[in-house]
């Protein structure tokens, strides 16, 4: 009687090499990301501006403050945009003049909302957050916080809104 000898169809080294090649090719694949093939994922600049501002809620108000530890209203706007590499004018009035107007019904997070407080000139600005809310640095002794456009005080002083970044399609 002859003994049966088991012989693999391929040597173990060849199968291991095939497995390593397969794993290496799979490791080179990247998961799907929206946007252009090979490009970075798309980021909504308005959301990024808003998040930069919201991350400083609670920071103290300081006239002329442009961050990162204290802010006035236009300094908060300038700081939040600067985090995205967007240069903006320094004062609320200059930001109002430079912004592309946006009707209130079309506001998106990251848009700017402007107010006249004690004069005929625009003198206050906030960053829209959605649902009639905005983040701003209100006044001496205050701190960066959220407010609501529908509050009577802000509603009476609201003069318009604008955008300083290119909105995504």
The catalytic position among 29, 81, 124, 143 is 124
Rounded to whole angstroms, how far apart are CA atoms 120 and 150?
21
Tell me the CATH architecture of domain 45-163.
Alpha-Beta Complex (3.90)
pTM: 0.75
Note whether 79 and 55 are within 8 A (CB).
Answer: no
Percentage of the chain modeled with pLDDT above 70: 74
Cis peptide before 164 (omega within 30 of 0): no
> Annotated catalytic, 29?
no
Q: Over the stretch 66-120, which tens digit does the pLDDT of each residue have?
A: 999 999 999 999 999 999 999 999 999 999 999 999 999 999 999 999 999 988 8
> Annotated catalytic, 136?
yes
pLDDT band at 12 (very low <50, low <70, confident <90, very high): low
Burial of 3 (0-12, 13-18, 19+ CB in 10 A): exposed
Q: Over the stretch 39-60, which tens digit does the pLDDT of each residue have?
A: 455 689 999 999 999 999 999 9
pLDDT surpassing 80 at residue 138: yes
Structure tokens at 156: 């009476």
Note whether 72 and 65 are within 8 A (CB).
Answer: yes
Rounded to whole angstroms, how far apart are CA atoms 36 and 58?
38
Burial of 163 (0-12, 13-18, 19+ CB in 10 A): buried
- Residue spans of the domains in the chain: they are 45-163
> Annotated catalytic, 124?
yes
The catalytic position among 29, 56, 81, 136 is 136
């Amino acid at each position: 009687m002859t003994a049966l000898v088991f012989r693999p169809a391929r040597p173990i080294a060849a199968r291991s090499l095939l497995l390593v090649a397969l794993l290496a090719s799979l490791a080179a694949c990247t998961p799907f990301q929206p946007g252009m093939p090979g490009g970075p994922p798309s980021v909504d600049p308005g959301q990024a501006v808003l998040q930069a501002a919201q991350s400083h809620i609670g920071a103290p108000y300081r006239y002329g403050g442009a961050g990162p530890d204290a802010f006035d209203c236009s300094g908060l706007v300038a700081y939040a945009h600067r985090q995205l590499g967007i240069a903006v004018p320094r004062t609320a009035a200059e930001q109002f003049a430079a912004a592309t107007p946006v009707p209130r019904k079309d506001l998106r997070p990251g848009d700017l909302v402007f107010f006249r407080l004690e004069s005929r000139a625009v003198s206050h600005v906030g960053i829209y957050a959605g649902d009639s809310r905005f983040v701003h640095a209100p006044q001496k002794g205050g701190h960066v916080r959220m407010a609501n456009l529908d509050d009577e005080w802000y509603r009476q002083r609201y003069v318009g809104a604008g955008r300083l970044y290119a909105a995504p399609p």
